[in-house]
Amino acid sequence: MTAYAALSRHFGRIAAMSNAIGILQWDSDAMMPAGAAGTRAESMALLRVLQHEMAVDPRVGEWLGEAEQDNGLGEWERANLREIRRSWTVETALPADLVEASSKAISACEMAWRQARANADFKALIPFLTKVLKLQREAGAAKGEKLGLSVYDALLNDYEPGGRALRIDALFDELAAFLPGFTEEALAAQARRPQPAPLEGPFPIEAQRQLALKIMAALGYDFERGRLDVSAHPFCGGADNDVRITTRYDDADFSKALMGVIHETGHALYEQGRPAAYMDQPVGHARAMSVHESQSLIMEMQACRSREFLAFAAPVMRAAFAADGPGWQADALWRRYTRVERGFIRVDADEVTYPAHVILRYRLEKALITEAMPLGELPAAWNAGMQELLGITPPNDRLGCLQDIHWPSGGWGYFPTYTLGAMTAAQLFDAATRAEPDILPGIARGDFAPLVGWLRSNIHSQGSRFTTDDLLTRATGRPLDAGVFKAHLARRYLGAE
């Protein structure tokens, strides 16, 4: 067996372990009874330690050294070695006891977060989140020492390989300066348009679910390799060829669940479209979380809030709820789904105000990781940031700093990828519609095959073959350009009234 073959086999086994962890994590978030939390935490911690031990196996370094000298490897194999080298460097920075302690702390914190969020009681979460934060700092310091990065950049690198806070600071400062004025312009333009007639509920949960399933099918979701369920926070998870998504329902507003489903379906399409031949190898993984977020936002924001989509979806929605009236017409629904409104909840935010939510979280998590701000000051800092960026102050912590599971689940460094993803989505959708003229007419027919086909070819099937910048440049002809995102917002929200 060659060194490369040995590496491929070894990382295939690591992928199998990751798949088992993924299903257990999905079950913890969607199905597990609360009484099982302690036992599940022990199981998850053991599996993560075993996975870590496999990843840092001394033979990996030996195989890498030998395989990197093999001149007979092809482009995909070379890219796989690059990704293995990157992940091995990170994994070998972490001692097993830190991995185990972090896993247990996260499991406990996630359960505490659910209760604290329900009670709007941040103080109850502080002991659990303090431990998670401490361990995240330790992990970031260990990785940073090995990679030559700051603690925050080392954590960011887990989600956005090659990403740096310095670049994000510049992008986000530019957006933070642009968005408040643009939001005012968009609200003023919106006020000059006729307001859509209200949609009268309640909207039965089962009817919402059936509507979601129909839209998922139209988007191209493969139900033979996934399922739809319910959780406190919508997510896409599971395993290779078992890509599961969740949503949450509100019988007073069906759009929250529907748009959540569309968003997570975008993630799932990426996972279902990864290169089959390398599905269990690092090179077959999704490129970066900004790219992953771009896939969800292409569906949720770019495609499914377009006039073309609403022309197709309006009669489907009317049929789902046996409804009719002026509020159910395509133009009224378009005005509803492109409505700009300052709100407290990130996952319910429109695409104009959404970046402000992300900028706030990015700034706060950097301050917490670098110890520039004590954890106990988070609620007050959150509220002050919301007032500065959006002009509103949450009335309680459930609508404020307790709304997201990311920090309790150890996702420090994740938040900036959402807005990087929105910018990437605008650039990819712009390039796709220029390259494939049938994309928008297809969406108007409920046929997403032209769009998904372009994404399959240019993004999904490429896995991690290229760096993020190279992938985007190959697909669109240029690196990430915030101007494309701004132009999209201007066309949609300041266009013809």
The residues assigned a catalytic role are 264
Joined tokens for residue 434 = 């220029």
246: Cβ–Cβ under 8 A, 6 or more apart, which residues? 29, 30, 228, 229, 230, 231, 234, 235, 236, 237, 264
230 bridge partner residues: 247
Distance CA 267, CA 257 (A): 15
- Residues 23 and 240: beta-carbon distance below 8 Å: no
- Residues 257 and 247: beta-carbon distance below 8 Å: yes
- Residues 172 and 362: beta-carbon distance below 8 Å: yes
Distance CA 97, CA 472 (A): 38
176: Cβ–Cβ under 8 A, 6 or more apart, which residues? 356, 359, 389
Nearest to 135 by CA among 168, 164, 100: 100
Nearest to 316 by CA among 453, 450, 445: 445
Distance CA 158, CA 161 (A): 6
126: Cβ–Cβ under 8 A, 6 or more apart, which residues? 375, 376
Distance CA 254, CA 207 (A): 9
- Residues 275 and 463: beta-carbon distance below 8 Å: yes
Distance CA 357, CA 343 (A): 10
Joined tokens for residue 430 = 């712009």
Residue with tokens 């031949």: 277
Give the H/E segment covering residue 239: strand 236-239
CA 101 distance to own-chain centroid = 25
Distance CA 483, CA 462 (A): 25
142: Cβ–Cβ under 8 A, 6 or more apart, which residues? 93, 94, 95, 98
SS3 readout for 50-117: HHHHHHCCHHHHHHHHHHCCCCCCCHHHHHHHHHHHHHHHHHCCCCHHHHHHHHHHHHHHHHHHHHHH
Distance CA 285, CA 464 (A): 6
What three-state secondary structure class fits 446? coil
Distance CA 295, CA 293 (A): 5
- Residues 52 and 11: beta-carbon distance below 8 Å: no
